Chain A
Amino acid sequence: DAKTTQPNSMESNEEEPVHLPCNHSTISGTDYIHWYRQLPSQGPEYVIHGLTSNVNNRMASLAIAEDRKSSTLILHRATLRDAAVYYCILRDGGGATNKLIFGTGTLLAVQP
């Protein structure tokens, strides 16, 4: 599985946008980019995923670089509830299994 690189931690102020970067320079053509987050003392939860085009859902937006070697998760207006560890994960679109390979993620702190 191709690996991802994320900053260990980031800070944001409440109600401001947050841009969480992820580098994946060895991404293959069939790899999808998935984001999960883990709130304190909870299991991870799915946030968003994409292949080549930018994606939006009710939780966040995902901006994917044209060469696909990096991506950015965008929280448009951070709330205190968004304080969590955010994981960027590559998933093989043609894989025979559904394993998730977690890195250490980015710990996002949101200040009031």
Chain B
Amino acid sequence: NAGVTQTPKFQVLKTGQSMTLQCAQDMNHNSMYWYRQDPGMGLRLIYYSASEGTTDKGEVPNGYNVSRLNKREFSLRLESAAPSQTSVYFCASSVFRGGASTDTQYFGPGTRLTVL
């Protein structure tokens, strides 16, 4: 049981390049999330998927797209990377069947992205 896995662990891009961050969970969770964390800051939600087949914008969605490929996988794409997107990206998942009171999110180890 690996929990939430993310690939790659590290990535360096040049401005304008594109890439996709991959996330997978093996806990049969319904909901998945992408966050970014800038130095010295808390996490900010980029996009989330409440269930397979649905995606919604979070707090900072500009410059990103997501795909909920199936129940296990949720990818984050940067179409044209910018230095402002240099950050650590975390994927998370949760059971969430409605009612946020006791639902726990499980986080992956993160992807450290640098855009030059």
- The answer to whether A43 touches B40, judged by C-beta atoms less than 8 angstroms apart, is no
- Report the nearest A residue to B100, measured CB to CB: A95
Candidates A45, A51, A94; contact of B99 at CB < 8 Å: A94
- The answer to whether B108 touches A98, judged by C-beta atoms less than 8 angstroms apart, is no
CA distance A104 to B39 in the complex (A): 10
- The answer to whether B104 touches A97, judged by C-beta atoms less than 8 angstroms apart, is no
Report A-chain residues with C-beta under 8 Å of the C-beta of B108.
43
User: From residue A90, how far is it (CB to closest CB) to chain B in Å?
Assistant: 10
- The answer to whether A46 touches B101, judged by C-beta atoms less than 8 angstroms apart, is no
Q: Give residues of chain A (69-112) contacting chain B, Cβ–Cβ below 8 Å.
A: 87, 91-105
Candidates B43, B50, B101; contact of A93 at CB < 8 Å: B101
Per-residue CB contact flags for chain A residues 1-41 toward chain B (1 = under 8 Å, else 0) read 00000000000000000000000000000101000100001
Chain B interface residues (CB < 8 Å from chain A): 4, 31, 33, 35, 40-45, 48, 50, 56, 58-59, 90, 92, 94, 96, 98-110
